[in-house]
Structure 1
């Protein structure tokens, strides 16, 4: 039985291929197909309607992106009065530091560095994702904020802001350690 299958094996493999080729021969009757194609081509052609015209929609411009984010706590802004005889003004001639290009709300304290023999430095994350070192005397924020104290949990600074009467007042602010 095995010997018979071995001899018939080539025939069994070639037979389906020959049947498939027989279906592709020119002897098939294609007149029905040709008649159907001629009928479709003879039909009157329809007109395609133009697409509808769309009216432009007015774009919306979000204007509150400069304001405080709704999920951050409000910052206490308690302006201190200028003592008599002392005039407060920002030093407009000094070169601006890198962190003065951002608002304090955009800056986050992420840690501290304490090296022997050096004052404690805070690590502040800016909106670009870069971590910057800040020490007492550094400036940060857009309102001439000078760092007055750095401890393990916060950076205290004194900003100089306009008082609304052609003058300036000092305002204490702080950036606290983010969790």
Structure 2
């Protein structure tokens, strides 16, 4: 049996020769020799002609004092459109929560006035038109059966205060009763 095992081992080792590897290497050399690399030539760089600011009597366009005076003027006027939050106004309870953490879970109509039922964390609150909501000076402008409409005051990219319309929509309950 040991001769059989030795014969079997010799046959297995003979099958592991590198004849296939030699064929693959030869094919790779052939393909490499036939392949031509095509690289587009780079475009010539553009020539830069510097501009000399020769008008010394004209105002300097890079003067930081000019920018600061314009910013101060806008701050006094309350921005370009006159909209800005009142920092002296006392904040209401629901203004301490971001708008995306407040959920509308229902409405109640009492004496002809529509109340929205809002949930923050595990607490439930009733709000009416005219109350404040959210961290962006949100004012409730209207309430209907499916949503609470808000007018918020936020800063845009240039730092000006602008009004933005937002809406909280009724959240359908995921709980089912049997």
Name the counterpart of 2:111. 116
Separation in 2 of the partners of 1:116 and 1:100? 26
- Give unpaired runs (5+ residues) of structure 1: 1-84
Tell me what 1:169 maps to: 162
Give the Å deviation of 1:172.
Answer: 0.5
Cα deviation, residue 112, structure 1: 0.8
Q: How does 1:29-108 map to 2 (within 5 A)?
A: 86-108=81-103
Consecutive aligned runs of 4 or more in structure 1 exceeding 6 Å deviation: none
Shift of 1:86: 4.2
Q: CA deviation at 1:108?
A: 0.2
Is 1:144 the equivalent of 2:134? no
**RMSD of equivalent CA atoms:** 1.7
Say which SS state the counterpart of residue 116 (structure 2) adopts: strand
- In structure 1, the residue matched to 2:150 is 157
Choose which of 115, 127, 139 in structure 2 pairs with 1:134: 127
Partner of 1:120, secondary structure, is strand
Paired residues in the alignment total 94
* 1:175 to partner: Cα distance: 0.4
SS at match of 2:110: coil
Name which one, 1 or 2, has greater alpha-carbon Rg. Answer: 1
CA distance in 1, matches of 2:158, 2:81: 16
- Please identify which structure carries the higher strand content: 2
Question: 1-side partners of 2:117 and 2:161: how far apart?
Answer: 29
Structure 2 residue matching 1:99: 3-state secondary structure = helix
Mind listing any 5+ residue stretches in structure 2 that lack a counterpart?
Answer: 1-79, 173-178
- Greater RCO (CA < 8 Å, at least 6 residues apart): 1
SS in 2 for 1:131: strand
